[in-house]
Each structure stands twice: as C-alpha cells, then as structure tokens.
Amino acid sequence: MKIHKKRLVFFYFSLLLIVFIGGCIKPLQVFPQSITKDDVTINVEIIRDFKWYSLAKDIIVLNLEVINNSNEGVWIYPLSKSVLIDYTGRQYVPIREFYYQSSNAPKVSFEFSFSSNEPPSFSISLSSDSSTEKEIMELIRTYELLKFKDGKVFPGARVSGILAFYAPYYRYPLRFIIPEVFWEKSFRKYDFEFIIGR
C-alpha cells in the first residue's frame, strides 16, 4: 500500500513538473506582429511547420504580408535586403534558392544573398529514403512558389510570401529588419524592424 502511495505521489509531482516546464517554454513570437508607416502595413508571423525541420532544425520561416493603403507605389526588397540579427550580433540573410542534388547521398544546398560575387552555400546530407526525398522536393517547390518576390507594391495592393532563414547557433532575441522600404513619389524611405523571441 505504501509503495502504491509513493508511486502516486511521484507521478503527481512528475506531472506538475512537466506542466510547469511546459508552461515556461513559450513558442517563438514576433513583436509587434504588425507595423504601419505612412499607410503601409507589414505583417510578420512565424510559420510552424514540422516539415521544415526535415531540412534543418535551424531554419526559421516567416510569412510576410505587405498592405499598401497609400496613394503611391512602394518598393520593398525583403528577399535581397532583409536580415536577422541575433543577440550576439550575428547576421543571417534569407535563403535565395534551394538546390537539390539526387545521388547516392542526396543533398540540399541553400544559396544566400550576400554582396560578394560568390555567395557562400550550405548543404546537408539527407537520408536515401525515397519518401523523405519526395517530401523535401515538394517543400522546395512550395518555397519557390510562395517565397516573397522583391519589387513594387502598387497603391491598394496586398502582397504576401514567405522567407526562410538558415540561422545556426542563433541566440534570442532576434531582430528582423526590412530596410529601405521606398515610397516612389514622396521619396520617403523607412526601415521596418520586428523582434522575434519567446
């Protein structure tokens, strides 16, 4: 009887500890989720899809939406100019393209947007499981279709897309900066900055 009570007490405290720890570990959030400057609103949210973790656990995927309620066109370049800056000052830029090489050891490579002539690339080896390869190929196609396209957002238009960052060893909080958003008639230029943290 005493052993049964001890097990119940142990189970009860274990459950309390799990609930407490689970409550302390908050999911990643974007602060603020929306910023408006001169009638242009940019919304940012984190996409939590386990499929991205099949590529690499250090990939952060953001959904970006730009709403232009002004009476002039706005030029925005998140894919080529935006940056994530972590707590230590390390900078990460969006993945421009995925390259998939199918061989005995399949690899996925990410090409980054740097100002140098030869951008560095990162590649990871994948399992040779054909179902995993199909899922990853589908994910890459999805990214190519849905990634944010740099350029002009016309008056009254709403544009959205996703950005993926490969950010190994990052430390929270992260600053997500979209620099030099440009109003074409009034020649105004603003940076939009968001904080990503727990």
Residue 146 is part of a domain; what is its CATH number?
A: 2.60.40
Q: Residues 6 or more apart from 29 whose CB is under 8 A from it?
A: 46, 196, 197, 198
Read off the amino acid at residue 120.
P
190 belongs to a structural domain: yes
User: Residue 20 domain-assigned?
Assistant: no
Asked if 95 contacts 109 with a C-beta cutoff of 8 angstroms, the reply is no
- Sheet containing strand 40-46, edge to edge, reads 34-37, 40-46, 59-68, 158-166
pTM: 0.77
Q: Which residue has the tokens 């199918």?
A: 102
- Which two three-digit tokens encode residue 23? 């409550």
Taking alpha carbons only, the member of 90, 89, 106 closest to residue 166 is 90
Structurally, how many domains does the chain consist of?
1
Range of the domain at 129: 27-197
In a domain, 59, yes or no: yes
pLDDT tens, residue order, the chain (198 aa)? 556 666 666 676 676 556 555 555 567 899 999 999 999 999 999 998 878 776 767 889 999 999 999 999 999 999 989 999 999 998 888 888 776 666 665 566 665 444 444 444 555 555 556 677 777 778 888 888 899 999 999 999 999 999 998 888 888 899 999 999 999 999 999 999 999 998
Instruction: Give the pLDDT score at 44.
Output: 98
Please name the residue that has the structure tokens 């409550």: 23
| pLDDT value for 109 | 62
Q: How many residues does the chain have?
A: 198
What is the DSSP code string of 90-134? Answer: -EE-BEEEEEEE-SSS-EEEEEE--SSSS--EEEEE----HHHHH
Does residue 12 form part of some domain?
Answer: no
Tokens of 173: 């909080």
Q: Considering the domain boundaries, does residue 15 fall inside one? A: no
